[in-house]
Amino acid sequence: MKGKSLGYILQRLGPLLGLMAIVIVLSIMSPQFLDLDNLFNVLRQISIIALLAFGMTFVILTGGIDLSVGSTLALAGALTAGFMASGIDPILAVLLGVIAGAVMGAFNGVIIAKGNVAPFIATLATMTIFRGLTLVYTDGRPITGFTDSVAFDMIGKGYFFGIPVPVIMMFVIFAILLFVLKKTVFGRHVYALGGNEEASILSGVKVNRVKIWVYSLTGALSALAGIILTSRLGSAAPNAGFTYELDAIAAVVLGGTSLSGGRGWIFGTLIGALIIGVLNNGLNLLGVSSNYQQIVKGGVILLAVLLDRQKSS
């Protein structure tokens, strides 16, 4: 029993140890890496992927997957920009944008839960549909110059006590979601559903309701990520968030959450997103070409999964 719990601890700490190793190597190779400015920079860069990955963690814990997060990000970002361009108050526009994202997610959830469609297929379809809707809505061109609101600018570019606002948002949302997963009945049901759907139904868990909520949550978080991106760039591009779903899934997997559902934790996802962010940033600082960066990133993911296999066998 002792040996087993040791392995369990290692498995849990694995992603963290990996992150620390990468940080140590990078800080030796590039002295600027540990500058506070640079670290905030890393955190701001990952905040968008992290929000997507947080939602993805819930989805994957239920045994599902959501490929539509990148498209949801783009459509919600464009809608928010469009609302503001048409004169709606920026704060109200942001709220409507997040609600729109939640509705898109709920649409996924209903198709998956009530229509009994495999999550991969359902969200593959909606990924294409939402991207198409974005192109139609923006007419294929970025929306710019939609507002001069300082409040909206703050979302992506602002600082609060010297910390970038997106970073604060990421940590606040992380804390809330951590609480939801660990401490609430809903969180427990997410794990139970992913672990054994039939046993969950027979134990009185409303699994369809849980699924719809989980995808709605992911949609809302994707929309928020889209709004942050729109604010930071001052523009809502129709191709925003393209292939972000893959980075989000990578962050979840790097964090040690099982793709088959029922096992995992959101803290790991935060670490996973950090690993991706730190790698990107460090390789940039070292002047590695972006072509090679992709290879390194892929290699790290493979290595992480292989190590995980070793430990669990």
Q: Which of 198, 289, 290, 291 binds another protein (CB under 8 A)?
A: 198
From candidates 139, 185, 309, 310, binder to another protein by CB under 8 A: 185
Using rule CB under 8 A, residue 309 touches another protein = no
- List the one residue from 52, 96, 205, 273 that touches another protein (CB under 8 A): 205
Give me the residues paired with residue 236 across strands: 143
Interaction of residue 3 with another protein, rule CB under 8 A? yes
> Which sign, positive or negative, has the C-alpha torsion 109, 111, 117, 119?
negative
Cα–Cα dist 249/54, whole Å: 10
Asked whether position 184 contacts another protein by CB under 8 A, the answer is yes
What letter represents residue 287's amino acid?
Answer: G
Stretch binding another protein (CB under 8 A), from 96-104, 147-155, 177-185, 285-293:
177-185
Nearer to another protein, 149 or 196 (CB): 196
Query: Is 176 one of the binding residues for another protein (CB under 8 A)?
Result: no
82 neighbors 141 (Cβ within 8 angstroms):
no
11 forms part of the interface with another protein (CB under 8 A): no
Judged by beta carbon, residue 192 or residue 279, the one nearer another protein is 192
152 binds another protein (CB under 8 A): no
Nearer to another protein, 58 or 191 (CB): 191
User: Looking at 112, 155, 167, 192, which residue binds another protein (CB under 8 A)?
Assistant: 192
Residue 204 contacts another protein per CB under 8 A: yes
Q: How many residues bind another protein (CB under 8 A)?
A: 25
Residue from 77, 90, 109, 262 that binds another protein (CB under 8 A)? 262
**Non-local CB neighbours of 274 within 8 Å, separated by 6+ positions:** 19, 42, 46
The answer to whether the CB of 50 falls within 8 A of the CB of 286 is: no
**Least distance from another protein to the Cβ atom of residue 245, Å:** 25
Q: How is residue 236 written in tokens?
A: 């809502």
Smallest separation, CB 209 to another protein (Å): 10
Answer for which of 191, 215, 244, 267 binds another protein (CB under 8 A) is: 191
Query: Of the two residues 133 and 190, which places its CB atom closer to another protein in the complex?
Result: 190
Q: Are 84 and 149 in contact (CB under 8 A)?
A: yes
Task: State how far the Cα of 122 lies from the Cα of 117, in Å rounded to an integer.
Answer: 6
Q: Is 1 in the site for another protein (CB under 8 A)?
A: yes
Q: Which residues pair with 143 in a beta bridge?
A: 236
Annotate 63-105 with DSSP letters as a single string: T---TTHHHHHHHHHHHHHHHHHTT--HHHHHHHHHHHHHHHH
CB closer to another protein, 187 vs 277: 187
Query: How far apart, in Å, do the first and last CA atoms of the chain sit?
Result: 15
Task: List the one residue out of 77, 12, 84 whose CA is nearest residue 219.
Answer: 77
Rank residues 189 and 211 by Cβ distance to another protein and give the closer one: 189
Binding flag, residue 199, another protein (CB under 8 A): yes
Residue matched to tokens 């923006």: 138
* Tokens representing residue 128 in the block: 């294409």
Whose Cβ is closer to another protein: residue 148's or residue 198's? 198
Sign of CA dihedral 254, 229, 122, 129: negative
Residues engaged in binding another protein (CB under 8 A): 1-3, 183-186, 188-189, 191-192, 194-196, 198-206, 262-263
